[in-house]
Amino acid sequence: MGQKVSPIGLRLGINRTWDSRWFASKGNYGDLLHEDLRIRNFLQKRLKNAGVSRIVIERPHKKCRVTIYTARPGVVIGKKGADIEKLRQELQKMSSSETVLNIVEIRKPEVDATLVAENIAQQLERRASFRRAMKRAMQTAMRMGALGIRVNCSGRLGGAEIARMEWYREGRVPLHTLRADIDYGIATARTTYGAIGIKVWIFKGEILDHDPMASERRLVESQTGAPSNQGRDRRPRRENA
């Protein structure tokens, strides 16, 4: 089962949490869901070249908090913050609540599955060799601290008449282990021969505690440089008298 299902969906509630976090009554649920979809589609088109990995939407009381995880925050913020204010005003028109926009920088895009998949897709669109692009991405991820990585490419690879799928793996990628912190990303390369699908799995370690926010907390700590308490005994130690 772990080989087929999405690694993120399989671990929701264990060491991953949802990208949309809010509660709504039965009458408002559909409207807020469509509002989320409009916001995500707009940001993905508008920030196509900003290296956006995730978009998290939270709705505290009468507010809509949008957090963008990006590898290029300067593209999003703009000169003296002009672009981010314009972006917030456009998002405000889509939402019925007061909109708050936060930007989180991803300092290691080489170990972010979505950004790795998009990087491979861009290389394929520039007619680079798919094998070279896959192996280079894997070597870079392993060098930057990933414990394992797997990359799938499927379609008319190299302009072949018959579509096929090729995959490479380096290190460990335990898809069945629920405590494994596995990042998963997909991208599509629009080539002259047709669409090529790219899937990337990156294994970053194990999360021993039952904590749905653990993966996101580990991501933020890796960007800010704060020490992580994952896997440590949180109980205070009794000093010997």
Structural domains in the chain, CATH included, are 7-105 (3.30.300.20), 109-224 (3.30.1140.32)
Distances (CA, A) of 188 to 3, 90, 119, 125: 20, 27, 10, 10
pLDDT at 224: 53
The per-residue pLDDT for range 160-181, each reduced to its tens digit, is: 999 999 999 999 999 999 999 9
Give the rounded percent of residues in the chain with a pLDDT score beyond 90. 61
155/163 Cα distance (integer angstroms):
5
Residue 229 pLDDT grade (very low, low, confident, very high; cuts 50, 70, 90): very low
DSSP state string for 66-96: EEEEES-HHHHH-GGGHHHHHHHHHHHHH-S
3-class DSSP assignment, residue 103: strand
Residue 207 pLDDT grade (very low, low, confident, very high; cuts 50, 70, 90): confident
Give which of 76, 64, 63, 61 is closest to 39, Cα–Cα. 64
Query: CB of 166 within 8 A of CB of 153?
Result: yes
* More confident site: 1 or 237: 1
CA atoms within 13 A of residue 169's CA, in its CB half-sphere: 9
- Can you say how many angstroms the Cα of residue 29 is from the centroid of all Cα atoms in its chain? 25
Greatest Cα pair distance in the chain: 77
End-to-end CA distance of the chain: 52
**Residue 197 forms beta bridges with which residues?**
154, 188
Q: What is the pTM of this model?
A: 0.84
The per-residue pLDDT for range 6-45, each reduced to its tens digit, is: 999 999 988 889 999 999 888 889 999 999 999 999 999 9
Give which of 214, 103, 100, 198 is closest to 149, Cα–Cα. 198
